[in-house]
Structure 1
Amino acid sequence: MYKNSRTVSKYLAGSFIALLLLAYVQSCKEKKQEATVDTVVKILEEGDGFVNIFDGETLTGWKGDPNYWRVENGALVGEVTPETLLKSNTFIIWQGGQPDDFELKLEFKIAESGNSGINYRSDLIDTIPNAMKGYQADIDGKRRYTGQNYEEKKRATLAYRGEKVTINSQDTPDVEGSLRANVKSNCWQSREVVGSLGESDSLKTKIKSEDWNEVHLIIKGNRLQHYINGVLMSDVNDEDTINRKLKGYLGVQVHVGPPMKVEYRNIRLKNL
């Protein structure tokens, strides 16, 4: 009787182990299927022409001052410390070309004291290292300017947050000092507000403070649209054939001012 009991016990133990193995194999299959589904969904979501232009691990393909730019936790980090205060704005610049018509998607997080922006269709400034001038999707930690269209070192503010604007034709070419007379209170004067996208303070509530936000720029022809978290923040039609740019460099900024930190991740570009 004792011998038969031991045999039954061994049989039951073996069966239990077999069931555990079967459950494990089935679980692995299900997880693999789930991972495959997730991968397919991601491909379908991002399979519409967007290409990652930042690998999340290195600064490969980007050029900037390593005193201010690094990669950390999958993000492109720009930081100014008390020991590295800036005398002029500095950028890290994508080396993959000069996009003309494109869409750009990325996420940013910025400290409350931070001031940054995404420059596009911009020129490099030969006399200042890692400096750019051109269109900028403005970003700041206090959310005063985030979402507006500001043209760095050129025509200044083209559209405040909540504005749909037409920039009128201008005979003043972009040469040293020639544009200053048409800029007042840091705003380009040859512009017409043709519509409203909402009150600036109301749109501000759509922007997260010191948390991750999604940016989507749609830049096509002379129309420049800045979206944040799916909300259109500014919309510019640039009819100024003398001063507008239809292609140029792409980069992100850390601004002159107090110590600050800004992070960018999931930077994806689609040429139109």
Structure 2
Amino acid sequence: MSTSLYSKGLRLTGLVAITLACTVLISCTSNEASDGWQSLFDGETLDGWRSVGGNAPYAIEDGAIVGTMTAGTPNSFLITENEYGDFILELDIKLEGETTNSGVQTRSHIDETANNGRGRVYGRQVEIDPAPRAWTGGIYDEARRGWLYPLDLNEAAKAAYKKEAYNHIRIEAIGNEMKTWVNDIPVAHVVDTIDATGFIGLQVHSIGDSALAGKKVYFKNIRIQTENLQPQDFPQGIYTVNLTPNSLTAYETQSGYELLFDGQSNAGWIGAYQDTFPTKGWEIKDGNITVLPANGSESTNGGDIVTTEQFGAFDLSFEFKLTEGANSGVKYFVTLSEQNTGSAIGLEYQVLDDERHPDAKMGKDGNRTLASLYDLIPAQKTNRSTRPIGEWNKGRVVVAPDNTVTHYLNGEKVLQYERGSDEYKKLVSESKYKNWDNFGQADSGHILLQDHGNRVSFRNIKIKRL
């Protein structure tokens, strides 16, 4: 009797255990379905992924996808077989070494014929960068447009990355907007109209140093949401790279940005030393405001144009496109009090074809080259920070309330100085501006686009008062 009851008890206990297990399983499955997250990696196999590009191997170790850096092969990628449109992607990444590199491709594509049939991946990539420049979380356009969001645009986020440890990456791609976080710190914000869909990819970067062969990059906890997306709060004050010409996102507007050029009219602009916009020498067409070519001389055709408003501390962004051999400039703190001939006086962000215009070889130590503070401070550019003639470049000038001024070119910081400092005054005393009293030190001034007799186009001109 007792044996029979004991057997029944075992059967009952087993039934309860099975029931509880099923309940837990159903509950977990329901929770995963209800919050919309889907795992892209099961922890055991590479089902749903394929290797393309280079020949770096991918394996599975302790529930992580592990890519190994390999000499003599181009960038390698493990890409999803499925493509994704709007999504929120989260994963953890660990990278060995401090001179290595990796990244996560989003809405990307492949040229299947490149690399001897291995394919070449292209598209927006979230950077993983342990090097001293610390651009992890920045956005790079792999094999196409280059850097879209270097972390010089958000220096506070450079400290987010943890070396030789797992870093939690969050990527939101919703509509035309892409935002990134590293270890819950907001990093980058790009608005881009291309690539509405594409695959996800995990990169093992090519290596030029054979000593790096064998270094590894680890990916785990890879999950994605594609429905009922709830964007995470993105605090105000983080710079936005908006690639939609002459437009402002709601986030930019809330942050205080305003357009200085609406893409259609000359509203807000007049000729320097004039009461109206020039009747010749400038063209507004196809969303661009363009200096028309004349004889290459300074302000002899339509003349410079200036904003009707004046600005003190500000964050100014603009895009410009040069033609071969062209010269122009964007000036700030232009007071128009000098009543001089030629171009109006002001601090100038140089806009120039460095290769073909003779002004690049004049001045001192390259202080008349592209993005320099003209005739005062040379821009410290790299080949990576410039775009070819005929392509759009992005300029930016930030004047902080403490008079610290920073020039950027395509998102990279190229110079910084303090307006009115002893060092600044010494530079002015040795420049072509030495005879102008208090040059560049006005409390406020106009923004100016220069007519130097060459065809140069501008667009996406926006400003935020600081």
TM-score, scaled relative to structure 1 = 0.65
| 2:148 is equivalent to residue 158 of structure 1 | yes
| 2:91 is equivalent to residue 141 of structure 1 | no
* RMSD (CA atoms): 2.8
| 2:217 is equivalent to residue 217 of structure 1 | no
Name the counterpart of 1:269. Answer: 224
Structure 1 residues 181-200: aligned runs within 5 Å: 199-200=154-155
Flag the 1:58–1:123 CA change in 2: closer, same or farther, 3 A: same
Deviation per residue, 1:83-137 (Å, 9 max, x gap): x314311101111x21011110110011123211000111112212153100000
SS in 1 for 2:157: helix
Structure 1 residues 28-39: aligned runs within 5 Å: none
> What's the offset of the Cα at 1:212?
0.8
The structure carrying a bigger helix percent of its residues is: 1
Name the counterpart of 1:56. Answer: 43
Name the counterpart of 1:188. Answer: none
From 110, 122, 128, the equivalent of 1:124 is 110
Name the counterpart of 1:184. Answer: none
Asked whether the 8 Å contact 2:127–2:135 carries over to 1, the reply is yes
Distance in 2, matches of 1:46 and 1:117, equals 28
Name the counterpart of 1:85. Answer: 71
Distance in 2, matches of 1:231 and 1:92, equals 26
Distance in 1, matches of 2:145 and 2:40, equals 28
SS in 1 for 2:165: coil
One-letter code aligned to 1:48: D
Query: More relative contact order in 1 or in 2 (CA 8 Å, sep 6+)?
Result: 1
Distance in 2, matches of 1:264 and 1:130, equals 22
Deviation per residue, 1:201-244 (Å, 9 max, x gap): x3222221110111111001110001111111100112xx4xx2
Distance in 2, matches of 1:89 and 1:237, equals 26
Distance in 1, matches of 2:29 and 2:90, equals 15
Distance in 1, matches of 2:161 and 2:33, equals 24
Distance in 2, matches of 1:221 and 1:79, equals 34
From 194, 197, 203, the equivalent of 1:247 is 197
Flag the 1:237–1:94 CA change in 2: closer, same or farther, 3 A: same
Structure 2, unaligned stretches of length 5 or more? 1-12, 228-466
Asked whether the 8 Å contact 1:92–1:130 carries over to 2, the reply is no
> What's the offset of the Cα at 1:256?
1.2
Flag the 1:141–1:255 CA change in 2: closer, same or farther, 3 A: same
From 43, 58, 76, the equivalent of 1:69 is 58
Name the counterpart of 2:437. Answer: none
Distance in 2, matches of 1:92 and 1:42, equals 27
Query: What count of residue pairs does the alignment treat as equivalent?
Result: 198
SS in 1 for 2:219: strand
Flag the 1:162–1:56 CA change in 2: closer, same or farther, 3 A: farther
Flag the 1:262–1:43 CA change in 2: closer, same or farther, 3 A: farther
Name the counterpart of 2:84. Answer: 99
> What's the offset of the Cα at 1:64?
1.0
> What's the offset of the Cα at 1:142?
2.6
Deviation per residue, 1:24-44 (Å, 9 max, x gap): x9xxx9xx99xx6xx968975
Asked whether the 8 Å contact 2:96–2:217 carries over to 1, the reply is yes
TM-score, scaled relative to structure 2 = 0.39
Deviation per residue, 1:3-43 (Å, 9 max, x gap): xxxxxxxxxxxxxxxxxxxxxx9xxx9xx99xx6xx96897
Larger Rg: 2
Name the counterpart of 1:6. Answer: none
Deviation per residue, 1:123-164 (Å, 9 max, x gap): 11221215310000011233622110000011111112264x
Distance in 2, matches of 1:221 and 1:245, equals 10
Flag the 1:123–1:45 CA change in 2: closer, same or farther, 3 A: closer
| 2:191 is equivalent to residue 237 of structure 1 | yes
> What's the offset of the Cα at 1:270?
1.0
